[in-house]
Structure 1
Amino acid sequence: MTEMLHYVWLGILSVFQGPAILEIAGVGLPVALVMLVAGLITGIAVGATPGLAGPMAMAISLPLLISAFGFTPDALLPVFGFLIGIMKGATLGGAVPAILFNLPGTPDAMMTTLDGFPMAQRGQPRRALRIAQLSSVAGDTFSDLVLFICAPFLAVVVEAYLDLPEKTALLILSISFVAAVMGRSVGKGLLSVSLGLLVAYIATGNDLSPRLTLGFDVLQSGIPLIAAVLGVLIVGEIFATLERLWLDNHALDVIPVEKRSTQDGLQPGDIRRISPYVGRGAVIGALIGALPGVGSTLAATLSYTMAARRIKRHPQAQPLGTGAPEGIAATEAANSAVSGANLIPVLSLGIPGNAAAVFLILAADSIGGFNPGPGVFSMPDGALNPQLVTVFGIFTLMSLGNVLNWTVGGGVMRAMGGLAKIPATRLLPVVLLVSLTAIYVQETSMFAIWSTLAFGVLGWAMRKLAVPVLPFVIAFILAGPIERSAREAFAASGADPWFLFSSPTSVILLLLALAALMFLGRER
């Protein structure tokens, strides 16, 4: 316990005593803390702008951050700080257009519009935004506490009880679960996973010559990771949104809000009124967020549905959908509680659970010196584990982000309300140009640009065919760990082709993977 507290203290010091970005009156400002604040403000602005999202801003920022800070271990916390700030700020800022303009920037924000916009139409936009802020930050804080407790425990269990065959089976279970729960059918989920694995294995592996290159010299170095991920995940979304706006022949239909009421702002009893719904939404969001591939939309919908059922049992209460504070609280607490819990499989297993987690994994892989997985929580005798110091530095940054959201987040959130009026038809081409520029800065190769555009077309086509894109991305990232783990297990077993069935645990994990495909993958 003493050794763990020592690592916690070192993690805190790594944030506050890290390299200073500038000095004010002889006091240095830690670069990680400054980047966290900058990322938080950027995230709120991005969340408040329909057509943009946190992962999109993280995708654009990552190559620029790496180019600015380099590939040394000192770059880890500043880069993570900015990305964590975006992740937290975008979740908070997403309520702004939903409440003020009835424009859900993300699918989970659709539930916020049901009560947030009617409240704003009654002349109480400030009250609705304040309730959204309190609920969102409360859910996020609870989710982070779950992460801080569960991630080390899960990592220790995995490291102590799972050997190479079991870890391989666990990775297979993860991508099977993602394929089963995402998309309209298990077939489309498996198609997406298969495409991700196929692309990832181009020119990789331990073979004497590059594989799957089809004779093209340009493919002998493989597909750039950032080009494939950003192309399918971000550029494909931009193409799909621009097509949708072109077909609709309009950018944004902003509905005016009535003049603010003299009673706008939190009212006596609001906190007590929404507290049960915030608590229930936070628990729902944290439980759903801990599962890889299950996003905040499900958490928001489930929390809102349960809140509506509770309201119906009290006939004197205001029904949801009419501007009830309980509806905003239930939705915002649930979708915010997903973010922290989604990092549990990332830090403890190295498995990304959502789009934001993908870019944290990419940052770790690109910079080096930090490999998310069970090994980061080990405490070797007589030696210091720098990865564990980094983990507690990340926990420190997340805690500071919550403090900032509690204190100044609401003010920044309201100040960004006007961004929702920016036409998406003008905004998204600029985002596309900046994305391609950032990729070129990172890769300095036109092949990376053409690859990104090609995978953007693939991402657009997948969306048109209702094939989920996140399984493609997760499979692309996990392809390397799966192959390495399988090769090591195969060699350790003496080249036994049945090594995956060598222990009861790996057999159970494989059966769970099969069960996920059979019972969770029915047509939805």
Structure 2
Amino acid sequence: MGVWDHVVAGFLAVLQSDPVLGIPIVLLMVLLGFLLGITVGATPGLAGPMAMAISLPILISIFGYSADALLPVLGFLIGIMKGATIGGAVPAILFNTPGTPDAFMTTLDGYPMAQKGEARRALRIAHFSSASGDTFSDIVLVVCAPFLAILVERYLDLPEKTALLILSLAFIASVIGNSVGKGIISMGLGLLAAMIATGEDFYPRLTLNQPALAEGIPIAAAILGVLILGEVFKALEDIYRGEAQAKPPEQTNVQGGAKSKDLRRLIPTIGRSAIIGTCIGALPGVGSTLAATLGYTSAKRRHANRPDANSPAFGEGAPEGIAATEAANSSVSGANLIPVLSLGIPGNAAAVFLILAMDSIGGFNPGPSVFQLGGGINEGALNPEMVMAFGIFTTMFIANGLNWTIGGIFMRWVGVMTRIPKARLLPIVLLLTLTAIYVQETSMVAVWITLFFGFLGYVMRRIRMSPLPFVIAFILGGNLEATARQAFAATGADPFFLFNSPIAFVFMALAIGVVAFNLRKPVS
């Protein structure tokens, strides 16, 4: 079977899934996830990863753990990811309230436009730019992920793969956050947690003789605790101390739609920012905040060098500022799945929950083997993992289609969500997260573990330590250990197996170089 057979099979796996109300279940789940994502993205204090975290255990309890459940669950999560990306522009433009760090750049020109009575125009520009950047990024994903996976499988053996995982962790720990030292500590804590009760030893490791830890730490409990509960605890404390704005700001006048010629004029700016965001998103651990900043800065510099008499200056309501920011941060989402599907390495919080869904349900192990054509005794057979990969690509393009058709309309409808105070939303998020953990694990021990890691996530945020290196290291820890053990055995127990191969040596040198280079950054 060739590649096109797998493309068709993946497409049909989506369109021929079991119907509900006459609609294929995967299509329905993408639609519901997309609408929920826009709603969550438009609500200050919430974010796409929060909705994905709460939804995942509930979805698994509904669909089960069979391979047939994977596409509906992933379709819903991808819908949330896509919808939340465009929904985040709503509070930034209407209320000058960035729901996420990358949306801050949107406020610089979006809110001034809204104050001039051009909120509808600003929202339409944000929607068009976001949808364009997202679509471009998905096209690059479909082209590059299989190509990269084939290169990895062809040229990298076990030592090289071990060194590549170490390089990825070093890169993530170095570039995320404001301190390389804190990033490395966060990564080390994640690896330490992943080592509990795992490996090939005859007795559980690091369990402190606690039977509850004999099976290891539930991955959902650790990730949801650090990422979601930690953020909730910090936000609740900020509200209590009066550091967070509890009252919603006044809404501006929503008038003045963008014209087609206005959007056509912005296409070059959108194209440049989409390329920037896609390149940034393809790097593990480099998120949409940097992409939005670089996209905005690039457009601002070009605008200053080639001033347009018909366009306001950046920071005073320039449409180019909105277009550059939204195209850049939206184009990260598709490109961020390039390392996920080709290497099994998540790059941001949304990708973490996609990996978690794949690991929890089974039947799909992201990595280089996903894009291998059947050979040997399976000659001529379809590779089910490649079929699943093209099914995932299909759901992403369906979500893009929803973005283009109903995304802009629904964006304007959910503006009312920005008026809900965070003090009311966050306790609901806390309760739903703990309920979701109990639904999946059916154990109070898992709830207590989640609360423990929630406290750990809170402490990390208070000392300005990013929790993302912890989460990614926790996910990759088991794979890193297994690959290292296999490489050690395959090389005849050579303790220098990471340095004997030229490619592995280059990866290790790059890992050391990345850390050393980023140590020179000033700590902010």
Q: What is the TM-score normalised by the length of structure 2?
A: 0.97
**The one of 34, 46, 71 aligned to 2:65:** 71
Contact 2:119 2:253 in 1 (8 A): no
Matched residue of 1:310: which SS? helix
Distance of 1:495 and 1:365 partners within structure 2: 30
Contact 2:174 2:183 survives alignment (8 Å): yes
Q: In angstroms, what is the RMSD of aligned CA positions?
A: 1.2
The equivalences for 1:159-238 within 5 A come to: 159-238=153-232
Counterpart AA for 1:367? I
2:11 alignment counterpart = 12
**SS of residue matched to 1:416:** helix
1:404 is aligned, of 399, 402, 405, to 402
Aligned to 1:479: 477
1:29-83 superposed Cα distances (whole Å, 9 cap, x missing partner):
1100000000000000000000000000000000000110001111010001000
Give the letter for the 2:340 counterpart.
V
Find the aligned partners of 1:309 and 1:250 in 2 and give their Cα distance.
Answer: 33
Aligned residue number for residue 156 of structure 1: 150
- 65-74 vs 243-252, which deviates more? 243-252
Aligned twin of 2:292 = 300
Counterparts in 2 of 1:272 and 1:492: CA distance versus 1, 3 Å = same
Match of 2:278 among 279, 286, 304: 286
Q: What amino acid is the match of 2:267?
A: S
**Matching residue within 253, 267, 270 for 1:275:** 267
User: Which structure 2 segments of 5+ residues have no match?
Assistant: none
Residue 177 of structure 1: SS of its match in structure 2? helix
Paired-residue identity, %: 63
Q: Is the 8 Å Cα contact of residues 143 and 340 (structure 1) preserved in structure 2?
A: yes
Residue 486 (structure 2) aligned to one of 485, 488, 499: 488
Does the C-alpha gap of structure 1 residues 324 and 178 become closer, same or farther in structure 2, counting only changes over 3 Å? Answer: same
Q: Is the 8 A contact 2:34 2:82 kept in 1?
A: yes
SS in 2 for 1:372: coil
User: For residues 101-153 of structure 1, what are the alpha-carbon distances to aligned partners after superposition, in whole Å with 9 as ceiling and x for unaligned?
Assistant: 11100001011011111111111111110000000000000010110010000
Structure 1 segment 484-523 matched on structure 2, within 5 A: 484-521=482-519, 522-523=521-522
What is the letter of the counterpart of residue 15 of structure 1? V
Alignment match, 1:26: none
Whether the aligned pair in 2 keeps the contact of 1:139 and 1:334 (CA below 8 Å) is yes
User: Aligned letter for 1:348?
Assistant: S
Amino acid at match of 2:16: Q
Runs of 4+ more than 6 Å apart: none
Asked if 2 retains the 8 angstrom alpha-carbon contact of 1:252 and 1:421, the reply is no
CA contact (8 A) 1:294 1:354 kept: yes
Say which of 323, 339, 356 aligns to 1:345.
339
Q: What is the CA deviation profile of residues 420-446 of structure 1, one whole-angstrom value per residue up to 9, with x for unaligned ones?
A: 000000100001100100000000000
> For this pair of structures, how many residues does the alignment match?
516
- Cα deviation for residue 249 of structure 1 reads 6.5
Match of 2:74 in 1: 80
Equivalent-residue separation in structure 1 for 2:226 and 2:410 (angstroms): 31
Choose 93-102 or 213-222, whichever is displaced more. 213-222
Provide the rounded CA distance (Å) in 2 between the counterparts of 1:457 and 1:346: 28
Task: Report the counterpart of residue 266 of structure 1 in structure 2.
Answer: 258
User: Judging changes above 3 Å, is the alpha-carbon distance between structure 1 residues 407 and 268 closer, same or farther for their aligned structure 2 residues?
Assistant: closer
Separation in structure 1 between the aligned mates of residue 201 and residue 388 of structure 2, nearest angstrom: 34
More displaced, 366-375 or 304-313?
A: 304-313
- 2:306 matched residue in structure 1: 314
> Which TM-score applies when normalising by structure 1?
0.97
| 8 Å contact kept, 1:120–1:257 | no
The AA in structure 1 aligned to 2:124 is R
Equivalent position of 1:449 in the other structure: 447
- On the 8 A contact 2:288/2:332 being kept in 1, the answer is yes
- Is the 2:238–2:244 contact (alpha carbons within 8 Å) kept by the matching residues of 1? no
Displacement of 1:186: 1.2
User: AA paired with 2:325?
Assistant: T
Deviation at 1:497, TM superposition (A): 1.4
- How big is the shift at 1:253? 4.0
Does residue 325 of the first structure (1) align with residue 287 of the second (2)?
no
Matches of 1:434 and 1:259, distance apart in 2: 34
| 1:355 maps onto 2:349 in alignment | yes
The 1-side partners of 2:467 and 2:260 are apart by 45
Once the two structures are TM-superposed, the CA of residue 223 in structure 1 deviates from its matched residue by 0.8
The 8 Å contact of residues 273 and 326 in structure 1, kept in 2 or not, is answered as: no
Asked whether the equivalents of residues 186 and 523 of structure 1 are also in contact (C-alpha less than 8 Å), the reply is: no
In 2: Cα distance, 1:313 partner to 1:367 partner: 52
Aligned partners of 2:340 and 2:346 also within 8 Å: yes
**1:434 and 2:428 matched:** no
The amino acid across from 1:401 in the alignment is A
Deviation, 1:273, is 2.2
Aligned equivalents of 1:214, 1:374: Cα separation in 2? 37
Written as runs of structure 1 = structure 2, the 5 A alignment for 1:38-57 is 38-57=32-51
Task: Give the letter aligned to residue 386 of structure 1.
Answer: P
